């Protein structure tokens, strides 16, 4: 199916009024950190989550939002380069990408005049505290932490290096953020959900809960998640995690395992993806394209629908230090196994 079929006017999501992101540089010691910030939906839009990253975001800021720029001297050798299971692909998780922003806006900020009924139902469960979510390839934890803050219970997963060096610390610094005071005071003393209790460092984030665990897509999930975790999932999410074809296959294998283990919950998979053109286009054997995602999903007998899309301008730094702007699109897809469709 052509990409143009997923860029219809009815699915075009304009920037959300009231949602703001920004980033700044914080220097403690030799290596600086990028602090990425984003505010919560009303009535808590004066509350802000913040996340430590190693590099400035890519495509996650819009308009005049404050961006951070590192100099050549600010970049350092990756201290986790030789970690077991770590790779160059894994290193991209230490920054915030385009798809994270559109995922957050689509799932948590209503635009009643354009939101399809399906999206309204997903959002109602997230905001109502009924959703049990697993995030795959959580990176620094922006999306999963945000969904917890608005009411979901979320298990954030990634390679052990990302969990230990990014997600855990970012959950800690957002722990206990006060949202709507009545909701927070009422629920703050409640124990964490049992399906998250077996995970280390289960934390109260706003109206919800969040925990972490390492998860490698190339290994069976029953060797990495507890039985209760693998059988408790309502929603699987992933943001901008499959720019390589090899990553797409292993991601969908993992999602398929979750679909089966949690089949009684009718779980869905929400995937955001920014189009990145390879020189050999849709026939690329290395890089994931929108059409490849669509065809790979349909080959498994699943359905795929576009909940939202948006044109984006992405700033890219060339090898000579010049910065150029590229036009692209970012999508949020709703993927379901055949028994849900």
CA distance 279 to 42: 43
Q: Is 219 helix (H, G, I), strand (E, B) or coil?
A: coil
What span, in angstroms and rounded, lies between the C-alpha atoms of 212 and 128?
Answer: 22
pLDDT of residue 1: 43
Whether residue 261 is predicted with pLDDT greater than 80 in this model: the reply is yes
- Pick the more confident residue, 74 or 213: 213
Model confidence band, residue 10 (pLDDT cutoffs 50, 70, 90): confident
Q: Is the pLDDT of residue 341 over 50?
A: no
Ranges assigned E (strand) in 240-340: 268-274, 303-317, 323-336
CA dihedral angle for residue 281, residue 88, residue 165, residue 138, rounded to 10 degrees: 20
3-state secondary structure of 114: coil
Name the burial class of residue 292, with classes exposed (0-12), middle (13-18) and buried (19+) by CB atoms within 10 angstroms of its CB: middle
pLDDT at 7: 75
Task: Say if strands 268-274 and 235-239 run parallel, antiparallel, or are unpaired.
Answer: parallel
* Identity of the highest mean pLDDT range in 10-24, 63-77, 198-212: 10-24
pLDDT of residue 325: 78
Tokens 């979901």: give the residue: 152
pLDDT of the residue at 31: 72
Q: What is the mean pLDDT of residues 209-227?
A: 94
User: What is the DSSP secondary-structure string of 17-29?
Assistant: TT--EEEEEEESS
243 vs 234, residue with greater confidence:
234
Residues recorded for the chain: 341
User: Across residues 188-192, what is the average pLDDT?
Assistant: 73
So what's the pLDDT on residue 328?
86
Mean pLDDT score across all residues of the chain: 86
Q: What six digits make up the tokens of 116?
A: 């399809």
pLDDT above 80 (res 76): no
Range with the largest mean pLDDT of 35-44, 270-279, 287-296, 330-339: 35-44
Query: What's the whole-number mean pLDDT along residues 194-218?
Result: 89
pLDDT value of residue 232? 94
Q: Is residue 137 classed exposed, middle or buried when 0-12, 13-18 and 19+ CB atoms within 10 A define those classes?
A: buried
Alpha helices in 14-136 (DSSP H): 88-91, 98-108, 117-127
Comparing 280 with 203, the larger pLDDT belongs to 203
- pTM equals 0.90
CA–CA separation, 279 and 287 (whole Å): 10
Pairing type for strands 323-336 and 303-317 reads antiparallel
Average the pLDDT over each of 29-43, 79-93, 94-108 and give the range with the smallest value.
Answer: 79-93
Q: For residue 8, what pLDDT is reported?
A: 80
Q: Going by DSSP bridges, is the β-strand pair 48-53/153-158 parallel, antiparallel, or unpaired?
A: unpaired
- Alpha-carbon dihedral sign for residues 70, 71, 73, 78: positive
Q: How far is CA 181 from CA 39, 46, 84, 174, 177, in A?
A: 16, 13, 43, 16, 10
Distances (CA, A) of 105 to 16, 18, 309, 334: 7, 10, 11, 15
Average pLDDT of the segment spanning 15-28? 93
Residue range 130-189, pLDDT digits in tens:
899 999 999 999 999 999 999 999 999 999 999 999 999 999 999 988 766 445 444 556
């Amino acid at each position: 199916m052509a990409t143009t079929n997923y860029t219809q006017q009815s699915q075009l999501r304009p920037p959300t009024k009231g949602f703001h992101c920004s980033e700044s540089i914080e220097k403690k010691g030799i290596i600086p950190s990028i602090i990425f910030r984003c505010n919560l939906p009303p009535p808590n839009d004066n509350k802000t989550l913040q996340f430590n990253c190693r590099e400035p975001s890519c495509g996650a800021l819009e308009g005049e939002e404050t961006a951070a720029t590192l100099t050549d001297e600010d970049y350092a050798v990756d201290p986790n380069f030789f970690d077991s299971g770590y790779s160059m692909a894994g290193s991209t998780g230490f920054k915030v990408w385009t798809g994270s922003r559109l995922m957050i806006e689509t799932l948590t900020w209503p635009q009643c005049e354009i939101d399809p009924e399906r999206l309204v139902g997903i959002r109602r469960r997230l905001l109502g505290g009924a959703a049990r979510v697993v995030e795959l390839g959580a990176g620094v934890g922006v999306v999963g932490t945000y969904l917890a803050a608005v009411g979901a219970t979320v298990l954030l997963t990634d390679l052990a290096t990302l969990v230990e060096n990014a997600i855990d610390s970012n959950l800690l610094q957002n722990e206990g953020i006060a949202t709507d005071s009545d909701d927070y005071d009422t629920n703050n003393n409640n124990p964490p959900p049992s399906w998250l209790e077996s995970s280390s460092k289960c934390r109260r984030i706003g109206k919800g809960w969040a925990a972490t665990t390492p998860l490698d897509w190339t290994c069976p999930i029953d060797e990495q998640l507890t039985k209760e975790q693998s059988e408790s999932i309502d929603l699987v999410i992933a943001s901008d995690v499959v720019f390589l074809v090899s990553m797409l296959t292993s991601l969908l294998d993992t999602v398929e395992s979750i679909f089966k283990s949690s089949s009684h919950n009718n779980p869905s998979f929400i995937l955001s993806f920014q189009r990145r053109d390879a020189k050999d286009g849709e026939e690329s054997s290395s890089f994931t394209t929108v059409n490849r995602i669509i065809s790979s999903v349909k080959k498994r007998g699943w359905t795929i629908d576009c909940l939202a899309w948006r044109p984006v301008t992405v700033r890219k730094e060339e090898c000579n230090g010049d910065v150029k702007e590229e036009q692209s699109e970012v999508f949020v897809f709703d993927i379901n196994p055949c028994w849900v469709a």
